Amino acid sequence: MDIVKIDMSMDSSAEYILNSNDWLRSAFEDVVNESVSNAVRHGNADKISITAQLEQSQGELKLLISNNGKPIIDKSYKSGIGFSTLRALGVDLEFSNSNQQTLLTVTVPLVFNEANKKSLV
């Protein structure tokens, strides 16, 4: 059994937002769980870094998940139901593979409907 090292950092503003919004916290947990699982299962990663930060000036919560696993060549994983649901809510997902790292950037707009200014916070 291999050990996977997971480092996590979260700024206090991001932690407050996640702790005060059940839907957002649940979505955050789902994205982290799925990303870690995929990195270990499909990419053979043994080092994962997770960072959550609030970009107040842009009204966004950013989640960065990087790992040292091999890149997934088949892009079909980006069309799964979990990621499709997040995209429908205005969440931006960006994958990149460089410097022997796989990086998933998740950007969640905290105000996602300009017409009525419905907010996640």
> What is the H or E stretch that residue 33 is in?
helix 22-41
pLDDT level of residue 115 (50, 70, 90 thresholds): very low
State the pLDDT at residue 78: 52
Condensed to tens digits (0 to 9), the pLDDT of residues 58-90 reads 888 999 989 998 776 555 555 555 566 556 655
Mean pLDDT of 44-63: 91
Contact by Cβ (8 Å): 34, 41: no
Contact by Cβ (8 Å): 21, 42: no
State the pLDDT at residue 116: 39
Residue 18, burial from CB neighbour count under 10 angstroms (0-12, 13-18, 19+): buried
Condensed to tens digits (0 to 9), the pLDDT of residues 15-44 reads 999 999 998 888 888 888 888 888 888 888
Q: Rounded distance, CA 92 to CA 99, Å? A: 22
Q: What is the phi/psi pair of residue 6, to 5°?
A: -120, 120
Helices 22-41 and 81-88, packing angle to 10 deg: 140
The answer, yes or no, to whether residue 4 has pLDDT greater than 90, is yes
Mean pLDDT of 90-99: 67
The pair of structure tokens assigned to 83 is: 């990621």
Selected residue with higher pLDDT from 5 and 87: 5
